[in-house]
């Protein structure tokens, strides 16, 4: 087995896995959620890098030739170092890809006002990764990032549906529109946030497009594999998905079933 690995601090990457599997069901997949150490969004650059590298190494040990960081925080804080500094020493034929670039690429054709908002974890916002990526591709777009420190916790703790979630969602939407009233598109720059979609829709004024990442990341991966046939040939095609968590598997199974809309049976592992 040489599956595609998908990594996240917790459950968020499942929103990415779901779209990737929908588009390319033929491949084998391994999902690793570091639930025991989530959230990553409030952690330092060094810690996110260290944890992410441990997860990537573990997914390589499981046979993955390609790993997707299904986490914006890890993509923003660890991806470049892993690609440039670690991969050449570990195995230069393997690849690690992130979720920021494929999301930044689509924004140019969505925003008409050229004013775009980003909701993301404090770590992603502080890294300014989206600002930099979007500026490289579409220098005419003004980006306003809003950190949403509570949102991942609401999702990880099954509170995304509760009345308490309304307060935090509304608060961040107000912050965004106060910071830039001309925004016509908002990127959900954290893979946990699609679970809050109903609430975000409820408080977001009409005419502002809300952009979850999963579909774009999946299409970008498909395109990548079409351009890199050597990698495509290495990925096994049994159509399976296995799940690993660093916390209670029972708890993971219950939440993952909601994210994926199918039964899940995870196994527990420890990192590093």
* Given 190, 208, 211, 260, the catalytic residue: 190
- Our CB check for ligand DGL shows the closer of 41 and 212 to be 41
- Our CB check for ligand DGL shows the closer of 65 and 212 to be 212
Does 190 qualify as catalytic in the annotation? yes
- Our CB check for ligand DGL shows the closer of 2 and 159 to be 159
* Given 6, 32, 38, 71, the catalytic residue: 71
| C-alpha separations of 114 from 105, 107, 140, 189 in Å | 14, 9, 7, 18
Considering the complex, what minimum distance in angstroms separates the CB of residue 10 from ligand DGL? 6
- Our CB check for ligand DGL shows the closer of 52 and 235 to be 52
C-alpha 13/C-alpha 33 separation (Å) is 8
Q: Are 183 and 208 in contact (CB under 8 A)?
A: yes
Measured at the alpha carbon of residue 111, what is the angle toward residues 136 and 161, in degrees to the nearest 5?
A: 105
Which residues in this chain contact ligand DGL in the complex, by CB under 6 A? 8-10, 12, 38-41, 71-73, 121, 124, 152, 190-192
Considering the complex, what minimum distance in angstroms separates the CB of residue 26 from ligand DGL? 26
Give exposure, 114-131, as e/b (b: 16+ Cβ within 10 Å). bbbbbbbbbbbbbbebbb
Considering the complex, what minimum distance in angstroms separates the CB of residue 220 from ligand DGL? 16
Measured at the alpha carbon of residue 195, what is the angle toward residues 271 and 250, in degrees to the nearest 5?
A: 45
Does 64 qualify as catalytic in the annotation? no
CA-atom Rg of the chain in angstroms: 18
Catalytic residues: 71, 190
């Amino acid at each position: 087995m040489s599956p595609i690995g998908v990594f996240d601090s917790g459950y968020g990457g499942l929103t990415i896995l779901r779209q990737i599997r929908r588009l390319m069901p033929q491949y084998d997949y391994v999902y690793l959620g570091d639930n025991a150490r989530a959230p990553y969004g409030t952690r330092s650059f060094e810690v996110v890098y260290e944890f992410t590298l441990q997860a990537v190494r573990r997914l390589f040990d499981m046979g993955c030739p390609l790993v997707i960081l299904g986490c914006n925080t890890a993509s923003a804080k660890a991806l470049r170092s892993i690609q440039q500094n670690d991969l050449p020493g570990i195995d230069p034929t393997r690849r690690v890809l992130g979720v920021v670039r494929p999301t930044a690429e689509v924004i140019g054709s969505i925003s008409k006002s050229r004013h775009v908002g980003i909701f993301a974890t404090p770590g992603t916002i502080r890294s300014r990764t989206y600002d930099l990526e979007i500026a490289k591709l579409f220098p005419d777009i003004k980006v306003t990032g809003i950190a949403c420190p509570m949102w991942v916790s609401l999702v990880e703790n099954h509170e995304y549906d509760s009345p308490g979630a309304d307060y935090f969602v509304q608060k961040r939407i107000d912050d965004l529109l106060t910071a830039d009233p001309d925004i016509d598109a908002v990127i959900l720059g954290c893979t946990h946030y699609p679970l809050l979609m109903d609430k975000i829709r409820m408080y977001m004024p009409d005419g502002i497009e809300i952009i979850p990442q999963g579909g774009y990341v999946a299409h970008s991966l498909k395109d990548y594999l079409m351009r890199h046939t050597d990698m495509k040939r290495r990925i096994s095609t049994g159509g399976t998905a296995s799940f690993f968590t660093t916390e209670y598997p029972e708890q993971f199974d219950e939440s993952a079933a909601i994210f994926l809309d199918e039964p899940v049976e995870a196994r527990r592992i420890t990192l590093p």
